[in-house]
Amino acid sequence: MLDVLDTARRIALDEEGVLGRDVLAGLAALGREDVGALLALADEVRRRASGDAAAVEVLFNAKKGGCSEDCHFCSQSARYATDVVAEPLRETHEFLAAAQAARARGAAEFCIVVAVRGPSAALLDRVCEATRAILADMPELHVAVSLGILNDAHCAALVDAGVRKVNHNLETSRRHFPAICTTHSYDERWETCLRAKRHGLELCSGGIIGMGETADDRLDFLYALQTLGPVEVPINFLNPRPGTPFADRSVVDPVEALRFVALARLALPNALVRLAGGREITLQGLQDLGMRSGASGIVLGAYLTTAGRADEDDFAMLQRTGFRVLS
How near is the Cβ of 155 to ligand SF4 at its closest, in Å? 18
The closest alpha carbon to 141, from 93, 104, 90, 196, belongs to 104
How near is the Cβ of 237 to ligand SF4 at its closest, in Å? 15
How near is the Cβ of 66 to ligand SF4 at its closest, in Å? 9
Cα 56 from Cα 31, distance rounded (Å): 32
Please give the distance of CA 201 from its chain centroid, rounded to a whole number. Answer: 16
DSSP category for residue 89: P
Angle at 133 (CA atoms; ends 132, 137), nearest 5 degrees:
115
Which residue lies nearer to ligand SF4 by CB, 244 or 293? 244
- Can you give the binding site for ligand SF4, defined by CB under 6 A? 67, 69, 71, 74, 76-77, 115, 117, 148
Kindly state the helix (H) or strand (E) to which residue 168 belongs, with its residue range. Answer: none
Which residue lies nearer to ligand SF4 by CB, 86 or 153? 86
**Helix and strand tally (H, E) in the chain?**
12, 10
Which residue lies nearer to ligand SF4 by CB, 148 or 290? 148
The closest alpha carbon to 246, from 314, 179, 159, belongs to 179
φ, ψ of residue 232 to 5 degrees: the values are -135, 140
Which residue lies nearer to ligand SF4 by CB, 67 or 271? 67
Which residue lies nearer to ligand SF4 by CB, 108 or 203? 203
How near is the Cβ of 77 to ligand SF4 at its closest, in Å? 4
Which distant-in-sequence residues (6+ apart) come within 8 Å of 50 by Cβ?
Answer: 270, 272, 296
How near is the Cβ of 236 to ligand SF4 at its closest, in Å? 11
Cα 284 from Cα 154, distance rounded (Å): 39
How near is the Cβ of 200 to ligand SF4 at its closest, in Å? 24
How near is the Cβ of 89 to ligand SF4 at its closest, in Å? 13
Which residue lies nearer to ligand SF4 by CB, 221 or 323? 221
Which residue lies nearer to ligand SF4 by CB, 77 or 192? 77
Q: Is the dihedral of CA 43, 49, 51, 57 positive or negative?
A: negative
For 288, other C-beta atoms within 10 Å of its C-beta total 14
Cα 242 from Cα 109, distance rounded (Å): 30
